[in-house]
């Protein structure tokens, strides 16, 4: 889904920019659309190889951030049957492969047939004549003309050759292959086909502008183009000069005025921009794409924010529930397999991440080591998993994280300590009762409620935040 989102952004932006560039040349608009096709086509590879970039603390819609409760974790040593490993195949994957194969085979067969026609054609004055085409066609560096082309009016033939040689100079056949490949990969995506159709039109209009720039009168060129279109009857191969679906729009443009050739270097500039922009888009995570913002939200009042800044995006993983931490592993497997209860439920992602840390049946020790990771999101995920483990070995390092400068990290550490409910955490949790983030104070109240200290819980009934007051019983 992440790749699809980024490809969608690239294609949609290209359509918008091309639509806004009405006064630019058709060649410029075609370059923009072709660059977007190339970016979408390479997006799967770029997403895998380019380092990820995420805004750490995005401002979010107003939703509650209290950490969702995971499936209950059995006591240590309790025997729990391990779930069956998740299926490795997907119906969606098979459906995509079927669509990809259909489009790829269809386009591939058309290319092979066009190549065979080109090989059978007869050379004539630097071009080729063929009885298998009924209009001028370009295939890579070969220009094919109907057999009666030598009998055409000299000016009409010169005009046709100007158009077709423009295709060769612009390498339009290669760009067309990129468009075909993009449609094959994203066969299910309407934007892929819309961009392809728009690119084909702008490609032809770019060659039309080149013809007009050579001094051919618009009326004469439109007449020649219409004559070619009227003689075309069979399905075209390669790049046909006059596809009937485009002819009206092209003639209107030809008759509208003078040609607008692109400024020198504009195609190179668009290509460079695409080369730079595509990896940047591939590096962005869904969080940074959908929820861009900067800075930590206001936590002194009643600001309520979503936990997406903590989201890592862990892959599916399966490990045997064996070894000293078998019960914890089995419980996390159940949590990882469960569907998220909402779009802010990070429990399945946290569980998948934790399962990826299992080493020879050990999980608690790797999680303790992860509490020293430089990435605060990793530390937060490790704290959550240790809270699910209810292991008192985590008490001291979690208590130390209550001084972390990132409030989400402090909140998760306090949440984990509340689940462990170790009396040894009392001094640190007393300090947490005065934390400036209400989420940390809320977890501290739950801790003291768990250990049975109602005195400190009752003292928080007057807290400035409604969530803390409610947990302490102040608003009942």
Do 10 and 38 contact (CB within 8 A), yes or no?
Answer: no
What DSSP letter does each residue of 46-104 carry, written as one string?
HHHHSPPB--SS----S---PPPP-SPPPPTT---PPPPPPPS--HHHHHHHHHHHHHH
Residue 245 — very low, low, confident or very high, per pLDDT cuts 50/70/90? confident
Q: Which residue has the higher pLDDT, 278 or 371?
A: 371
Centre a 10 Å sphere on the Cβ of residue 167 and count the other Cβ atoms it contains.
Answer: 27
Provide the whole-model pTM. 0.56
Residue 238 — very low, low, confident or very high, per pLDDT cuts 50/70/90? confident
Rounded Cα distance, 200 and 238, in Å: 12
- Work out whether strand 137-139 and strand 142-146 pair parallel, antiparallel, or are unpaired: antiparallel
Q: What is the pLDDT, as a whole number, of residue 79?
A: 40
Phi, psi of 200 (to 5 degrees): -65, -40
Flag whether pLDDT at 66 surpasses 50.
no
Residue 102 — very low, low, confident or very high, per pLDDT cuts 50/70/90? very high
Q: Which residue has the higher pLDDT, 67 or 474?
A: 474
Rounded Cα distance, 20 and 29, in Å: 9
Rounded Cα distance, 399 and 395, in Å: 6
**Domain at 307-472, CATH from 3.90.280.10, 3.40.50.300, 1.25.10.10, 2.60.320.10:** 1.25.10.10
Flag whether pLDDT at 304 surpasses 70.
no
Q: What is the pLDDT, as a whole number, of residue 237?
A: 62
- Work out whether strand 122-124 and strand 137-139 pair parallel, antiparallel, or are unpaired: unpaired
Domain(s) labelled CATH 1.25.10.10 in the chain stretch across 307-472
212 Cβ contact partners less than 8 Å away, ≥ 6 residues apart: 218, 221, 254, 258, 259
pLDDT average, residue stretch 252-278: 68
| Mean pLDDT taken over the chain | 81
Do 167 and 138 contact (CB within 8 A), yes or no?
Answer: yes
Rounded Cα distance, 329 and 364, in Å: 10
Residue 214 — very low, low, confident or very high, per pLDDT cuts 50/70/90? confident
Report CA torsion sign: 118, 124, 129, 135. positive
The b-or-e profile of 113-130 (16+ CB within 10 A means b, else e) is ebeebbeebeeeeebbbb
Q: Which residue has the higher pLDDT, 303 or 317?
A: 317
Flag whether pLDDT at 423 surpasses 80.
yes
């Amino acid at each position: 889904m992440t790749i699809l989102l980024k490809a969608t952004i690239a294609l949609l932006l290209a359509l918008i920019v091309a639509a806004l560039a009405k006064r630019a040349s058709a060649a410029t608009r075609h370059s923009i659309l072709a660059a977007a096709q190339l970016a979408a086509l390479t997006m799967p590879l770029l997403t895998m190889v380019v380092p990820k970039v995420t805004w750490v603390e995005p401002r979010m819609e107003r939703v509650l951030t209290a950490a969702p409760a995971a499936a209950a974790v059995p006591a240590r040593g309790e025997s729990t049957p391990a779930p069956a490993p998740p299926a490795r195949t997907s119906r969606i994957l098979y459906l995509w492969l079927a669509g990809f194969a259909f489009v790829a085979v269809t386009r591939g067969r058309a290319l092979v047939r066009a190549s065979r026609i080109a090989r059978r054609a007869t050379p004539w004055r630097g071009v080729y004549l063929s009885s298998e085409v009924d209009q001028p066609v370009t295939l890579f560096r070969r220009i094919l003309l109907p057999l009666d082309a030598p009998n055409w009016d000299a000016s009409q033939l010169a005009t046709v050759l100007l158009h077709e040689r423009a295709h060769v100079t612009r390498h339009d056949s290669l760009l067309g292959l990129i468009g075909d490949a993009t449609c094959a990969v994203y066969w299910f995506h309407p934007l892929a086909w819309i961009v392809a159709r728009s690119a084909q039109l702008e490609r032809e209009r770019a060659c039309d502008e080149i013809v007009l720039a050579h001094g051919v009168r618009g009326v004469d060129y439109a007449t020649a183009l219409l004559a070619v279109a009227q003689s075309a009857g069979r399905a075209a191969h390669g790049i046909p000069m006059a596809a009937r679906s485009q002819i009206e729009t092209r003639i209107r443009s030809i008759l509208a005025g003078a040609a607008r050739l692109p400024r020198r270097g504009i195609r190179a500039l668009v290509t460079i921009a695409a080369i730079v922009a595509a990896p940047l888009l591939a590096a962005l995570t869904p969080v940074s794409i959908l929820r861009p913002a900067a800075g930590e939200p206001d936590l002194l009042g009643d600001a309520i924010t979503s936990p997406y800044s903590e989201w890592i995006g862990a892959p599916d993983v399966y490990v045997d529930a064996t070894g000293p931490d078998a019960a914890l592993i089995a419980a996390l497997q159940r949590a990882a397999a469960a569907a998220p209860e909402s779009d802010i439920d990070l429990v399945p992602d946290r569980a998948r991440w934790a399962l990826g840390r299992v080493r020879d049946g050990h999980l608690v020790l790797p999680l303790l080591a992860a509490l020293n990771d430089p990435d605060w999101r990793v530390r937060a995920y490790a704290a959550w998993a240790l809270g699910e483990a209810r292991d008192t070995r985590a008490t001291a390092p979690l208590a130390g994280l209550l001084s972390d400068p990132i409030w989400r990290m402090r909140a998760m550490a306090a949440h984990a300590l509340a689940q462990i409910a170790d009396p040894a955490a009392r001094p640190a949790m007393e300090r947490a009762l005065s934390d400036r983030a209400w989420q940390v104070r809320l977890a501290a109240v739950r801790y003291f409620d768990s250990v049975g200290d109602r005195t400190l819980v009752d003292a928080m009934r007057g807290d400035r935040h409604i969530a803390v007051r409610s947990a302490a019983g102040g608003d009942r």
